[in-house]
Amino acid sequence: MFNLTLGGLPGVVATLERCILDYQAGTGAEVSGLSGGGLTLRHCIGLGTRIGNSGGFTSENSIYTRTSAPFWQSNGAILINNLLVSTALVSNMTAGASSTGNVLGAAANSIFIDEADNNFTWDDDLHLQATSAGVGMATDGSDVGIYGSPTPFKPAGVPFNPHVSSAAIGSSTNANSELPVNITVVAQPN
């Protein structure tokens, strides 16, 4: 696990889909400097994360567990159907934001099946609890967060489509003129 920040310059374009943005200590923004509408976040999870200095960015169908406003100094942000622990949507934004369908003030312990400390580990279960406000809340009617959308996050990145996971093909034929072939195909269920 690395503690990284995502920073850009005006005019840089970054689209993050089904990403987990982990908390970082400090007062800065972990995602910052992508002004001019170049940043888009869809179906992401921000565990304590702040998005800052990214004027005109878009966040939709995402979850933010920061206890203070997760969107900072990003005038003209477009915020659609996000689930927040914070009771404040934005801070230090003179031009404000365009917002619709956001839910603020969700209890942190009411969102995920198993994530308690804003510190991502691979054994966290970031599926939504059945009673979470984020169930069916996304603009497409799916859940907010990484397990929503028509193409939700898949553990280990295994696709729905069958695909070859291993192939062992002999280098020559056997005594019966047969080529030994062993191909394993897998797919992850919905």
Question: Mean pLDDT across the chain, nearest whole number?
Answer: 87
| Banded model confidence at residue 83, pLDDT cuts 50, 70, 90 | very high
Residue 80 has pLDDT above 90, yes or no: yes
0.85 exceeded by pTM: no
| Banded model confidence at residue 160, pLDDT cuts 50, 70, 90 | low
Q: Backbone phi, then psi, for 155, in 5-degree steps?
A: -55, 135
| Banded model confidence at residue 1, pLDDT cuts 50, 70, 90 | very low
Residue 189 has pLDDT above 70, yes or no: no
- Which residues are CB-contacts of 129 (< 8 A; sequence separation ≥ 6)? 110, 111, 112, 113
* pLDDT, tens only, 9-27: 667 788 989 999 886 666 5
Distance (Å) of CA 127 to CA 43, 47, 188: 12, 14, 17
Residue 93 has pLDDT above 60, yes or no: yes
Residue 112 has pLDDT above 70, yes or no: yes
pLDDT at 81: 98
Spatial distance between the Cα atoms of 177 and 4, rounded to a whole number of angstroms = 56
